[in-house]
Structures are given as C-alpha cells and as structure tokens.
C-alpha cells in the first residue's frame, strides 16, 4: 500500500543496521531496473545490505513491476522526475547502512563487486570513494574515468578544436586515454554509474548538488572530496556491467540540460566571470551543427527545420542560470 509521500509500506528488514545501502534511481527503465535488481539479489553478499529504489515519476509501469517482483526493497515513488541529484539524495536520506552505494538502473553488478568496494574503503580509511570497472554487455572494458575538466577542456571537448594539437592532447588527457582501465589506481572522477562512499561523509558533504540536475553532479562531488584531501579509488577487480546511456536515453532535453549543467558546474568552481567564455563555446559548437545541417540534408525545408531547432536549443541553453 502506498503512503502519502508515495513510498510503499514494507515490513521491517531483518537487519535494521545493514553495512551497505544500495540506492537505485529509476526513470522509465523498467526492464533494465528489474535486471539490475535481479543481479543484486542473485548473490549472498558478505556485507549485509539493503536496497532502496527511488522511482522518479516513471510512466512505464516500473514502480508496479518492482513492487511485485522485489517486495524486499524499499520503494519510494515520486510523482514527477526530481532529477538525478534529487532522486539520489532522496534515497541516501533513507539509507541505514554505514556505507552508501549509488547505482544506476542500467547496471548489473557482478558477484562480489560491491563487497570489494566496501572492503577497499574499510582497509583504506584515507579514501572517500571507491568505484568499479565498468564493462559493456559483451565484456569490453569501458574507459570511463576522467580527469577534472579545466577551462581549455570546455573549448576542446566535442568541437573541431579537439581534433588538432594541442586541443587533441587536452581532450585525450581529459578522457584519460593513457589509462587502459585494467588496473586499479587513484582517479579524479570515476564514472557515476556505480560508486561507494561512507553514508555519513556523503550526507555531511551535502550529497549531490541539486542545481546540477542531471549532469556534472558526480564530477562536482568528486572535486569537493579531493579538495578536502580525500582520495578516490578505481578498483579494477570489482566489475559492473553497464548499458551506457540507457538510463538517460529517453530524456528529451538531454543536450540542453547537459550544457546548462556544465555552465553551472564551471560557474561553481571557476566563478561567474567564466560564463561569457563558456557561452562563446556554446555558440561555437552550435555553429558547427549549423554547418553540418546543410551537409546532412539536401532538402531546404529539412535544413531550415534543423537550424530552427538548433536556434531554440541555444536560446534555452543560454538562459540565465538559477542561483
């Protein structure tokens, strides 16, 4: 039965003090979320755990399917989409475990992976976060760790400047092309699809910044941890399968939100004086797409429609940011 706040009533767990709380955020990914939960419950973990699912206003029957298939999870149902940061913070606020795992709904943990991440943090208290190696469904390693983006990164990422030296070197460095992801090491920012932290440290640091609604919130969290002198470990021995981008694929405002969240991230870490430069980068990238529209289409009407859509997107991206 649903409570007034949208949560699902459950009997109390046998272990009211699990070692690990796993928060799975779900938005219109019913089958992926069910597969994610099947993988979590397929093993008998060494570290006791609870699983919290936050359904972010899904319209595909996710909540009902999860409640029917996994009555042992704590299911929180939102009437609308509160974003990646808001949804994860909501789940983290309910966590009872000493450790907290944020896990994307488009992942499937391999046996022992989360135990290995908890073990690392227990044995190395100078580390704030541990993250696993991500792999594609066919087993290929995802080279997803990155260094923190600098001012020049913004101009070189996904633009023509990144195709030529020195922009190509800046882009390669940002994407850690020098790291094969086959061995463990310290990193600036691991992929946000799966990570484990101390629950208290996550909460004390304010969790994910909800102004970064969908993107750059994990980058911001990692940067704040490093600035406090805390370290982050990529643990290659822990493996999690990840369907890249599946949890955000249906989000209509993907590009607009990515750019606006990037603007907000840079403003937070570099100050408001950086915004004119970033807006120039947005216009430069839009000009590339403007030219490509004519190469992709031969119909003048199609070119005009694509350029009109681009113009609207740029106008929305460059709207004033919330304070």
Q: How confident is the model at residue 190 (pLDDT cuts 50, 70, 90)?
A: very high
Question: pLDDT tens for residues 83-123?
Answer: 999 999 999 999 999 999 999 999 999 999 999 999 999 99
Rounded mean pLDDT, 219-227? 98
The H-assigned helical ranges of 28-123 are 30-41, 62-69, 83-94, 113-123
pLDDT of residue 273: 97
pTM over 0.85: yes
DSSP E strands: which ranges in 112-217?
Answer: 127-135, 185-186, 194-198
At 210-219, the pLDDT tens digits run 999 999 999 9
Residue 226 has pLDDT above 50, yes or no: yes
Token pair of 27 as six digits: 């938005």
Question: Which of 91, 87, 56, 57 has the alpha carbon at shortest distance from 74?
Answer: 91
Helix (H) or strand (E) holding 278: helix 275-296
- Tell me the pLDDT tens digit for each residue of 161-180: 999 999 999 999 999 999 99
Dihedral sign of CA atoms 260, 261, 264, 270 in order? negative
SS3 at position 306: helix
User: In this predicted structure, what is the pLDDT of residue 14?
Assistant: 42
Percent of the chain's residues with pLDDT above 70 = 93
Which pair of structure tokens corresponds to residue 13?
């767990």
For the stretch 260-273, what's the b/e string if a residue is b when 16 or more beta carbons lie within 10 angstroms of its beta carbon?
bbbbbbbbbbeeee
Residue (of 183, 111, 116, 110) closest to 143 by Cα position: 183
**Per residue in 253-282, pLDDT tens?**
889 999 999 999 999 999 999 999 999 999
The angle subtended at Cα 223 by Cα 222 and Cα 225, nearest 5°, is 65
Helix (H, G, I), strand (E, B) or coil at 232: strand
Judge if the upstream peptide bond of residue 166 is cis by omega within 30 degrees of 0: yes
What average pLDDT does this structure show over 306-313?
Answer: 94
* pLDDT tens digits, one per residue of 35-70: 999 999 999 999 999 999 999 999 999 999 999 999
pLDDT tier for residue 248 given thresholds of 50, 70 and 90: low
Taking the C-alpha atoms of residue 223 and residue 212, their distance in angstroms, rounded to an integer, is: 14
Contact (Cβ atoms closer than 8 angstroms) between residue 121 and residue 199: no
Question: Is a pLDDT exceeding 70 seen at residue 6?
Answer: no
């Amino acid at each position: 039965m649903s409570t007034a706040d949208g949560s699902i009533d459950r009997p109390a767990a046998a272990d009211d003090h699990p070692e690990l709380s796993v928060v799975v955020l779900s938005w219109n990914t019913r089958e992926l979320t069910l597969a994610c939960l099947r993988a979590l419950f397929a093993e008998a973990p060494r570290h006791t755990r609870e699983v919290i699912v936050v359904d972010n206003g899904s319209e595909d029957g996710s909540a009902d399917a999860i409640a029917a298939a996994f009555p042992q999870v704590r299911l929180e149902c939102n009437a609308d989409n509160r974003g990646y940061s808001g949804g994860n913070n909501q789940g983290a606020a309910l966590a009872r475990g000493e450790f907290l795992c944020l896990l994307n709904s488009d992942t499937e943990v391999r046996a022992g992976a989360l135990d290995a991440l908890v073990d690392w943090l227990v044995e190395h208290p100078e580390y704030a976060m541990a993250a696993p190696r991500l792999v594609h469904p066919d087993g290929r390693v995802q080279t997803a760790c990155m260094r923190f983006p600098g001012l020049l990164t913004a101009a070189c990422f996904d633009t023509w400047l990144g195709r030529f030296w020195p922009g190509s070197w800046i882009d390669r460095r940002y994407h850690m092309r020098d790291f094969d992801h086959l061995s463990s090491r310290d990193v600036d920012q691991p992929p946000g699809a799966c990570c484990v932290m101390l629950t208290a440290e996550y909460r004390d640091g304010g969790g994910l910044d909800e102004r970064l609604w969908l993107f750059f919130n994990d980058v911001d969290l990692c940067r704040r941890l490093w600035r406090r002198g805390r370290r982050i470990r990529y643990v290659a021995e822990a493996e999690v399968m990840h369907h890249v981008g599946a949890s955000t694929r249906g989000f209509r405002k993907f590009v607009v939100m990515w750019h606006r969240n990037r603007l907000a991230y840079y403003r937070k870490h570099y100050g408001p004086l950086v915004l004119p430069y970033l807006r120039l980068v947005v216009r430069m990238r839009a000009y590339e797409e403007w030219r490509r529209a004519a190469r992709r289409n031969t119909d003048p009407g199609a070119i005009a429609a694509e350029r009109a859509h681009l113009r609207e997107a740029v106008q929305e991206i460059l709207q004033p940011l919330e304070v």
